[in-house]
Amino acid sequence: MTEKKTKAKMRITGSEAVIRSLMHENVDTIFGFPGGAIMPVYDALYDFRDKFNHVLVRHEQGAIHAAQGYARVTGKVGTVIVTSGPGATNLTTGLADAMIDSTPLVCISGQVSAALLGSDAFQETDVVGITMPITKWNIQVNAPEEIPDAIAKAYYIASSGRPGPVLIDIAKNAQFGELDYEYTRCNFIRSYRPEPPLEPSAIDAAANIINQAKKPFALIGQGILLGSAEKELQAFLEKADIPAAWTLLGLSALPTSHPLNMGMLGMHGNYAPNIKTNECDVLIAIGMRFDDRVTSDLKKYARQAKMIHLEIDPAEVNKNVKADVAVLGNVKDTLPLLTKKIKSAKHAEWIGEFRECSKVEFEKVIKHAVHPEKKGLTMGEVINLLTEKTNGEAILVTDVGQHQMMGARYFKFNQSRSIVTSGGLGTMGFGIPAALGAKIGRPDRTVIGIVGDGGFQMTMQELGTVYQTGAAVKIVLLNNNYLGMVRQWQELFFDKRYSFTELTNPDFMKLAEGFRIEATKVTERSELNASINKMLEHNGPFLLEVVVEKEGNVFPMVPTGAAVSEMILENKS
């Protein structure tokens, strides 16, 4: 039930107990912003500042997005500390984002003293009530002796099973009060079952269906990355020669160059996997939740196929798509058992059908996106050149919009945990702080943050954090002076009525200069190659602004309400 305890009890304050508890959880990095209700904890942190890398952000939303980036690339739990009231409420977007994208976080917020709760005291907010729907677990701590146990449970819950964000709201009196401190790491909670029990009969049933399949197709989700099951996935796919495609958050779970990797699923995914979804005879979903951006119209989604769903969270099974067989459990455990049961097979003709679809997409879309003949620079060619120069070894962090889809389509991945993006919530402003957190988490890897001019301006104050930390983030700003994805929809589905989507932008070069960050602006194709080289060779953070065509679109595209097999490759108007 427990791991080791501290050797002897110490009489310390609750605020020191917070810091010592984080040390027992092997926390090395804290993203935070101090304030009145959390000041005792920050005062305690002063005496332990050599034990942590504390990143002072410019806004609490920046703190939680940075912690998300850190968690996604390291596999560790991201840690955030903020004050009460607006400090805590500024976390809510990030909490919702982390909840839907299964990102492990522990957020600690200060709160007014317990005696003042319910009195509308200065900066009092019911943060537990506000965040209950968007956290995996939350708790308010009103006494100092409750602190160690709350923190131990928080890290266990955040990181076990299907990961997610946890919030601990600590009253100020609990921070000032004293306790006899001892710490016990948590690995069991009686009412909490992070992983469902494995059913051998489900493995047998799934294997039987796969062994009879003529056209099997695997869908790879983020569950592979969260379960560290990349090798198990490859062994499974290769034994039965099963073509596979990844979701947006499943990117990098399988190398881009792997012969069984057919690309990305979804609204702006690749043509072949979307078309073949409605032609396969067995669909094997692995660690994914059948998001509407993957399935589009459920009434037209893979009706011909038998469904096998490998999933750790029982709530996701049969929620959107009914499974013929559900294999519950961590894919790290279930995939090897399934691999043992399936027969070796070859599906060359079926895989060849994917290849033919890919040729169609290359001729109609990819060729023009990455090697355009027109004068204006395109997002696709910028991203294609970036991935060529980083040899598929960089971590890609994106904001949300057209550039996000272009990055997912044209960036190449050789290593796992190489994509950080806001998938389920689609949070504009995510990119800069998440890239910062990713670089702090993996300083050994090149981190490229791709942002649009809209999302960039939502959290551009975090350039101050980038400068202060010195984190060598390479930020590529693809500037089309529009809220590009909204404008694309207005063009295609609202008769080109561009209602409030055109942006009058600041001088981004002067902005970078103000934050003392090296920067270059590219307006011509002839400048692009040298400018990317300059950015990648620079020893420190860098902002590269590339002015791209104003009305470029992301294709292919599955229109709203259409079947995935009704993907359009180009604008017909």
Residue 325 tokens read as: 């067989």
Cα gap 57→34, rounded to integer Å: 10
Q: Of the listed 3, 5, 9, 122, which one is catalytic?
A: 122
Element at 67 (helix H, strand E): helix 60-74
Residue identified by tokens 């027969």 is: 343
* Sheet with 542-547: strands ordered across: 419-420, 395-398, 447-452, 474-479, 542-547, 518-522
Q: Can 172 be counted among the known catalytic residues? A: yes
Q: Can 132 be counted among the known catalytic residues? A: no
Q: Of the listed 16, 25, 33, 60, which one is catalytic?
A: 60
Yes or no: say if 159 and 98 are a contact pair by the CB < 8 Å rule. Answer: no
Q: Can 122 be counted among the known catalytic residues? A: yes
Q: Can 3 be counted among the known catalytic residues? A: no
Q: Of the listed 76, 172, 215, 439, which one is catalytic?
A: 172
Cα gap 344→460, rounded to integer Å: 52
Q: Can 306 be counted among the known catalytic residues? A: no
Helix residue ranges per DSSP H, 75-126: 86-89, 92-100
- The maximal CA–CA distance of the chain, rounded, in angstroms, is 75
Residue 414 tokens read as: 């050789």
Helix, strand, coil distribution of the chain in percent, nearest 5: 40, 20, 40
Cα gap 280→270, rounded to integer Å: 16
Cα gap 55→437, rounded to integer Å: 9
Q: Of the listed 123, 457, 461, 468, which one is catalytic?
A: 123
Strands 165-171 and 137-141: parallel
Helix residue ranges per DSSP H, 280-393: 292-295, 331-341, 348-361, 367-370, 379-389
Q: What are phi and psi of 343, to 5 degrees?
A: -90, 150
Strands 105-111 and 78-82: parallel
The strand pairing partners of 285, in sequence order, are 219, 309
Q: Of the listed 99, 458, 485, 535, which one is catalytic?
A: 485
Residue identified by tokens 């060729």 is: 367
Element at 181 (helix H, strand E): strand 178-181
The residues annotated with a catalytic role in the active site are 60, 122-123, 172, 485
